[in-house]
Amino acid sequence: MNKIMHGILISIKLALHNLRSNVGRTTLSVLGIVIGVVSVVLVLSLGFGVKNYIVGQIESFGTDIIQVEVKVPQTKQMSAKNIQGTASGSITTLKIDDLEEVGKLPNIAGWYGASIGQAIASYGSETKQTIIYAATAGIFDIDQQIKFAAGLGYTNDEDRSLNQVVVLGSQIKETLFKDENPVGKNIKVKGLNYRVIGYLEERGSMAFFNFDDLIYIPLETYQKKIAGIDYAQSSIFKLKDKKLTDLTIAQTVDVMRDRHNITDPEKDDFVVASIEEFTTMLEDVFLIVNFLLISLTSISLIVGGVGIMNVMYVSVVERTPEIGLRKAVGAKNSNILKQFLFESIFITILGGLAGIAIGVIVAFFATKMAINAGYTISFEVSWYAISIGIVFSVITGVGFGLYPARKASQLSPMEALRKE
């Protein structure tokens, strides 16, 4: 055991000595690995930052809620066919009566139905294409992120009576009214007057969805007077007891299938999910995305590895007499192989550590710049990203250093000395 450790230590010392004596070559070899590891760290850090931001935004709605939304039958929820079908409005079966029936379940504390559309809103000479978020009045009780700067939300009675009232997001309020108080004034939406009864504090965005640019309108008013439809796209139900989530989901599915006369689950035109299920699904999606991104960025590590292999091969050719001399005085093939392999590994570890350090610094300043520019998504450097960087560095060193090391170890002492 002591002989083995002694041999390894000698190989390490020789490897380090050779790297120090060829600083220029070592630096060039390290550079390729640095670029690759920086890419891996930044891509993973951005991926984690985006994932945590989106999951955090979703969980801000509360983890004690379930969602019922339309779905194209015989498709998966996240499939392209379902996304295209629901976006085009091909599923028109989710009615307010359905939501009211689900709302009667014993574990439901409150609910709201919703649909999203677009329309031109105007006040005086100001006009803006905006997103209409049509929802029943329960949204103002359930969505805890809605905070009023002035005024108040509409009621269920105003919704059922098709009252033409709106609540403005902070950005649309600034666009249309500037510093003027909009409460009590009328804006035009699709040619009709709508009275502003409140406007909200700044909330920000979730992914590409800007809450501050929304106009909230009673759902039934939107259905009858703007969109000309009689269905909702989605709904949210707040639970009394989070521990009964699975039971409530099962009861909700039963109610929906009964009302839609569905006996075959494959023909479901709706999907019921908890926030926790949705965030788990998102994490699975980001896991796949991260894998694909790592695969792409690893190309730069492969390029760096090829560079190391070439440099090490040239080094073997240049040091052929040295190898012959060492073998002549008793060095084994394994001693030569270990020396050159350790040189390759040290180069990649050095490049990996430098790449991690640079990646962390770049991520820090990129996050600062993003925050200063008004973005809330950050680069989140994790131990996972750092570990991946180190592991990839070692694998690159072993993988691309093994061939030159084997070539060096297999040289004949007589032939090597003859080349001096």
- C-alpha span between 343 and 16 (Å, rounded): 7
Is the pLDDT at 56 greater than 70, yes or no? yes
| Lowest-confidence segment of 54-58, 189-193, 233-237 by average pLDDT | 54-58
| Lowest-confidence segment of 69-73, 196-200, 325-329 by average pLDDT | 325-329
Is the pLDDT at 259 greater than 90, yes or no? yes
Q: How confident is the model at residue 207 (pLDDT cuts 50, 70, 90)?
A: low
pLDDT of 299: 79
> Would strands 186-189 and 192-200 be described as parallel, antiparallel, or unpaired?
antiparallel
Q: How confident is the model at residue 97 (pLDDT cuts 50, 70, 90)?
A: very high
Residue 206's DSSP bridge partners are: 209
pLDDT of 379: 83
| Lowest-confidence segment of 34-38, 104-108, 175-179, 307-311 by average pLDDT | 307-311
Q: Do residues 217 and 227 lie in contact, with contact meaning Cβ atoms separated by under 8 Å? A: no
- C-alpha span between 89 and 229 (Å, rounded): 10
Q: Given its phi and psi angles, is residue 204 left (phi above 0), alpha (psi -120 to 50 degrees) or beta?
A: left
Which run of H or E residues covers position 158?
helix 156-160
Q: How confident is the model at residue 66 (pLDDT cuts 50, 70, 90)?
A: very high
Is the pLDDT at 11 greater than 50, yes or no? no
Read off the DSSP letter of residue 201. P
Read off the DSSP letter of residue 202. P
Cα–chain center distance at 308: 33
Is the pLDDT at 174 greater than 60, yes or no? yes
Is the pLDDT at 15 greater than 60, yes or no? no
* Overall pTM > 0.85: no
pLDDT of 10: 54
* Number of DSSP helices (H) and strands (E) in the chain, helices first: 14, 12
SS3 sequence of 232-287:
CCEEEEEECCHHHHHHHHHHHHHHHHHHHCCCCHHHCCEEEEEHHHHHHHHHHHHH
Rg (CA), the chain: 32
> Would strands 234-239 and 108-123 be described as parallel, antiparallel, or unpaired?
antiparallel
| Lowest-confidence segment of 245-249, 295-299, 325-329 by average pLDDT | 325-329
| Average confidence (pLDDT) over 375-399 | 81
Domain boundaries, the chain: 2-58+281-418, 92-268
Is the pLDDT at 102 greater than 80, yes or no? yes
pLDDT of 146: 93
- C-alpha span between 209 and 123 (Å, rounded): 23
pLDDT of 77: 66
- C-alpha span between 58 and 275 (Å, rounded): 7
Residue 116's DSSP bridge partners are: 133
pLDDT of 3: 53
Q: Do residues 222 and 81 lie in contact, with contact meaning Cβ atoms separated by under 8 Å? A: no
pLDDT, tens digit, 9 for 90 and up, residues 306-349: 777 777 776 766 666 776 676 677 767 777 777 777 777 777 88
Query: For the chain, what is the mean pLDDT?
Result: 82
Determine phi and psi for 330, rounding to 5 degrees. Answer: 115, 0
Percent of the chain with pLDDT over 90: 35
